[in-house]
Amino acid sequence: MVPRIVEVRQAVLTKNDALARDLRRRFGAAGVGVVSLVSSPGAGKTALLCETLRRLRARYRVAALVGDLATDHDAARLRESGAPVRQITTGTVCHLDAEMVARALGDWDLSALDLLFLENVGNLVCPASYDLGEDLRAVLLSVTEGEDKPQKYPTIFSTADLVVVTKLDLAGPAGYDDVLARQALHAVRPGLDVVRVSVRTGEGMAEWLARLEAGLARKRSARCRA
């Protein structure tokens, strides 16, 4: 018997996409802006987030969900900022997905928040495929990683709303070339917004926070128009 073809046409990650849509609706209804942070391990997500929470706490009600393969060390570090933090331990899973975020949120009253950060597992490959319902995806690139990283991991950089170059205080010793880094970033995503920071010296932090606020305001007005 000749095999017959049954058409399906459905996204493989359709369940994650549907859950992410539900999350986005929930975030929108609660009026909370949601930002995810993605980078390779050790690029400085937790350090950046700690300082971001600390600085924003005066003006906004902020909170964070942090994903890790193991340990709650990052959650403990983030709690030092004084903001509420929940840990997602993924075990062997190399990325957060929408279901993990939904489960970690549980019945958290999101209307009591202005801003929620989702710190993904350190990984530049796998998180790219999973929508978490966030408004903005910030991808970090530290000056010690090599300027060509965007070309090695084009998928994640091409899905970024904003790129944060971190550890700027080490740019000299690392021989970081900003022109090369921008070329690499703009090769995979022309026009991509780039901000450079050093959490240690505070350089660029004000600009990063301003870009965050502007990015979220843009998304909010787009949501209102929709």
Partner 1 sequence: MHELSIAMSLVELAAERAGPLGGARVEAVHLRLGALAGVVEDALRFSFDVASRGTPLDGARLVIEHVPVAVFCGRCRDARVVEGFPLRCPVCGEPAADVVRGRELELTALEVSGDGPTDR
Interface residues with partner 1 (CB under 8 A) are 1-16, 93-95, 97, 125-126, 128-129, 151, 154-156, 158, 186-192
For the stretch 80-95, what's the b/e string if a residue is b when 16 or more beta carbons lie within 10 angstroms of its beta carbon?
ebebbbbbbbbeeeeb
**Of 173 and 191, CB closest to partner 1:** 191
**Of 18 and 76, CB closest to partner 1:** 18
The tokens for 191 are: 């026009």
**Of 10 and 58, CB closest to partner 1:** 10
102: Cβ contacts below 8 Å, ≥ 6 apart? 19, 22, 23
∠100-129-161 over CA atoms, to 5°?
100
Smallest separation (angstroms) from partner 1 to the CB of 55: 30
54 phi and psi angles, rounded to 5 deg: -60, -45
Alpha carbons 225 and 121: distance in angstroms, whole number:
33
**Of 84 and 154, CB closest to partner 1:** 154
Nearest of 163, 161, 120, 114 to residue 143 by alpha carbon: 163
Alpha carbons 195 and 216: distance in angstroms, whole number:
16
Smallest separation (angstroms) from partner 1 to the CB of 161: 11
- Do 206 and 59 touch, CB atoms closer than 8 A? no
Smallest separation (angstroms) from partner 1 to the CB of 39: 15
How would you classify the pairing of strands 136-142 and 33-38? parallel
**Of 7 and 109, CB closest to partner 1:** 7
Smallest separation (angstroms) from partner 1 to the CB of 89: 16
Smallest separation (angstroms) from partner 1 to the CB of 103: 16
- Do 114 and 216 touch, CB atoms closer than 8 A? no
Smallest separation (angstroms) from partner 1 to the CB of 69: 13
**Of 52 and 120, CB closest to partner 1:** 120
